[in-house]
Amino acid sequence: MEFTAFLLGLAAIVWVLILIQIHDVVIGTAIFLVATGVFPQEFASIEIGLTITADRLWMAVLIAQITFDLWTGRATWKPHNGADFYLFLFLAWLILRTLMSPLGTEVKGQPSTVMHLVNGYLVPAFLYYIMRHADPKGSTLKVALGVILVFGLYLSVTAVLEITKQWSLVFPSFIGNPKIGIHFGRARGPMLQSVRLGMCISASLAALWAFPVWLYPKRVSVWCLTLFLTPIYTVGLLLTYTRSIWMGAMAIVVILLAAMLKGKTRVATLGTLAIAGVVGGLVIGPSLVAFKREYSATETLESTKMRGAFAYVSMKMIQDKPLAGFGFNQFQVYNRPYLDDRTTDIRLESIRGYVHHNYYLGLLVDLGLIGFILFLLATVAMLKNAWYVYSNPASSPPGRSAAVLSFCMIAVHAIQMAFHEISFSSIEYSLLMFPLGLTQIYAHQTREKEREKTHESDRDKEREKQLAAIL
């Protein structure tokens, strides 16, 4: 047995060395998204004091990959900017507020505070950091994009199989186990949660339009692929039966149209969508407050009403510790006295035992105004960076595509954050850090082009002065 394990380990090392030499961290990060989404602990894991899963093994490959790329010159250290600075400050404050809380002070049954920090924040931040130092080629981007599009296709087909109860065709099979995960009865995929599934398909939908349409606007095969995959992704999103995911999909449509259209056509199209949205909200809005999902319409309505309880309790806690908060991942630990408040008619007891369902308020409770402001500064800096790449004439088409994808995923995240906690697994923020890291690559390239243009202009002026002096 030990000899067999040795041979398997040796074979794995050989394959890792081969993989390191044939792809770079951009492809590797796309593969990580698949590994962390499709092959979680429920699929396979090894306990050696630390739980080893497919995505954690692949993270080790990525560490070796970026080390190899930097050593061989396939990747280069690039200067940091304001977005990196504010992200670093936010992470520093997050780690500090984690260390300042006694270890083990989390509610039983919920992930530990340390693993919440590592999976939800540090892993995605690491992916972003190695991505921003990569130097991808055109073929590299195509392969990474292909991985993401196939990922979205697999998830969308799986969503249909779930809802139609074709369990023999569902892979991995644990998706059909109602005893693990949440949202059984909706499409939830291998993430075992409808919101995560919807965010993954949303990323694939945004990438489908942000890259091929911009890079190959006149290629018929690309348009055929786009028109083939779009309705499949759309069905997958609808089958999540999650209102915030539907809202995120609408935001993607608006952003893509705003980026693709120009002049009066853009104004007319977006104006029509705005009117249709208002009318649609008035007509079908009430039915979306309470509709049958995995539970009854009454229970869906109760879920909606719980938002008020979360808001009320959060505001009371924020008033008590406004600057530094109660500590990372401590909402459930310290909210118990606030649930006993009898000065309001809101059913505060309805949220006992639940994780926070509003990420913004959760940040304020856990990290205070300091953490919340740092988070906003990092977000705004990332948006400015993406806008710089998108609007700059010196940017390449892949750069503008990455910027548009960043806009889409920031919008999707911003909407989910109003209704859910999105940092308990590594998939949510990794989906965001992938386009943000790509955008940083192209921002650096664009700045280099501007510097070269400036230097060339300065040289031309110097030659003109010298010529004028001679004459």
What would the pLDDT profile of 80-108 be if each residue is shown by its tens digit? Answer: 888 999 999 999 999 999 988 776 566 66
The enclosing H or E element of 392 equals: none
pLDDT in tens, 155-166: 999 999 999 999
Name which of 191, 196, 171 is nearest 55 in CA terms: 191
Model confidence band, residue 205 (pLDDT cutoffs 50, 70, 90): very high
Q: Taking all residues of the chain, what is their mean pLDDT, rounded to a whole number?
A: 84
Percentage of the chain modeled with pLDDT above 70 = 84
**How far apart (Å, rounded) are the C-alpha atoms in residues 392 and 67?**
32
pLDDT of residue 30: 93
At 417, list the tokens: 């954050």
The residue behind tokens 């991942």 is: 329
Name 51's bridge partners. 47
Question: Which residue from 148, 90, 97 is spatially nearest to 121, judged by alpha carbons?
Answer: 90
Res 153 pLDDT > 80: yes
pLDDT at 223 exceeding the cut of 50: yes
**pLDDT value for 200:** 96
pLDDT score for 109 = 65
Residue 195 has pLDDT above 70, yes or no: yes
Of 328 and 471, which is predicted with more confidence? 328
Say which amino acid occupies 460: D
For position 407, what pLDDT does the model report?
Answer: 96
Cβ contact 357:314 at 8 Å: no
pLDDT higher than 60, residue 9: no
**CA distance readout (Å), 435 to 8, 379, 405:** 35, 13, 6
* pLDDT at site 303: 59
Domain boundaries, the chain: 1-75, 81-441
